[in-house]
Amino acid sequence: MNSSDLAFFLAAARHGSIGRAAAALNTVQSNVTARIRALEAEIGEALFTRHSRGVRLTAAGERLMPYALRVGQLLAEAREAVRDDGADPSGALRIGSLETTAALRLPSVLAAFARACPRVDLHVETGTSEALIGKVLDGDLAAAFVVGPVTHAALVAEPMVEEELVLVTAPWLGPPRWLSASPGAAPAAEQAKLIVFRAGCSYRRRFEALIATAGIVEVRHLEFGTLDGIIGCVAAGVGISLLPRAVVESARAAGRIATHPVPSGSARAITVLVRRRDVHVPAALARLADCARSAMSPASRDAA
């Protein structure tokens, strides 16, 4: 078994067709068929079943698939590591970020990074902490800014900035009664409509835990994929949200929303930069981390 045979196997699995796999690999169908049959003979198992529209993985092929993907990924990482001398980073760098971090913290980071690494094509994908961590683990992203703590053994998580979380309401609403209820008090006879990011968002999980601690049992959710959507609905009085104070400060100063402190156990969130532990850190990512440390440091924020 060699990496070339596995590349032919992956192409056929991805395209579901020997013909489409051959076109993707810029070769002829007979070559793809021969390589796959040789791999099947070596393993002693059929990897595909043939049908009228192409091919489908067998159970053995399904079991081989993740290993073939890992081999291909490791070879790609090895090539990048060998070529990466750190002198003048170039190429593509894919990172992830929370929507809130992208809106508030990343512009200054990316401006500094663009000056330091003008030959790097940076791609930023936003999402929830859970989704972004999954993409870092899968190798789809080199790193991501997510909410900590992150304790996965395969990841390195570097703290970048601590955010103060506040309850956000429409400007004419005061803090809900349950927010100031004393510990052990009877559950508040209130309902809550939470304006939140998609499932997997760390702020959402903290908000739901805070609501549960207050004894609120009638809870409805309205999900958004953007920060502007959440702030707009809160400002209109549709519901309430839990967000970093710095993210909503301009809306509060403009009178669009009101903010209220939350209990100390729910009031702090640390944004961390996560990356895989077993992968070479490319020079471009190292430079990005340097820019983030500088731009997100307390001294930099105070100066701004």
Is the pLDDT at 130 greater than 90? The verdict is yes
Mean pLDDT of the 94-112 span: 93
Lookup: tokens for 301: 């924020």
* Cβ atoms within 10 Å, residue 19: 14
Percentage of the residues of the chain whose pLDDT score is greater than 90: 54
Mean pLDDT of the 219-239 span: 90
pLDDT in tens, 31-75: 999 999 999 999 899 999 988 888 999 999 999 998 888 887 777
What is the distance, to the nearest Å, from the Cα of residue 244 to the centroid of all Cα atoms in its chain? 18
Mean pLDDT of the 294-302 span: 66
What is the CATH number assigned to the segment(s) 162-268? 3.40.190.10
Q: Which residues 6+ apart lie within 8 Å of 174 measured at CB?
A: 258, 260
* Cβ atoms within 10 Å, residue 88: 10
Q: Which residues 6+ apart lie within 8 Å of 220 measured at CB?
A: 191, 192, 193, 194, 239
pLDDT in tens, 136-170: 998 889 999 999 999 999 999 999 999 999 999 99
pLDDT at 86: 62
Cis peptide before 149 (omega within 30 of 0): yes
Domain ranges of the chain: 3-83, 91-161+271-303, 162-268
The answer to whether the CB of 95 falls within 8 A of the CB of 144 is yes
pLDDT at 170: 92
- For residue 177, the one-letter residue type is R
Residue 58 phi/psi, 5° resolution?
Answer: -80, 180
* Cβ atoms within 10 Å, residue 299: 8
Is the pLDDT at 303 greater than 70? The verdict is no
Average pLDDT, the chain: 86
What does the alpha-carbon distance between residue 241 and residue 193 come to, in Å, rounded to a whole number? 9
What does the alpha-carbon distance between residue 166 and residue 100 come to, in Å, rounded to a whole number? 13
Question: Is the model more confident about 270 or about 188?
Answer: 270
Lookup: tokens for 140: 């789809």
Mean pLDDT of the 188-210 span: 82
In words, the CATH class of domain 3-83 is: mainly alpha
**Superfamily classification of domain 91-161+271-303:** Periplasmic binding protein-like II (3.40.190.10)
Identical fold at 91-161+271-303 and 162-268? yes
Task: Give the three-class secondary structure for 165.
Answer: strand
Q: Which residues 6+ apart lie within 8 Å of 32 measured at CB?
A: 8, 11, 12, 18, 21, 22, 25
pLDDT at 212: 82
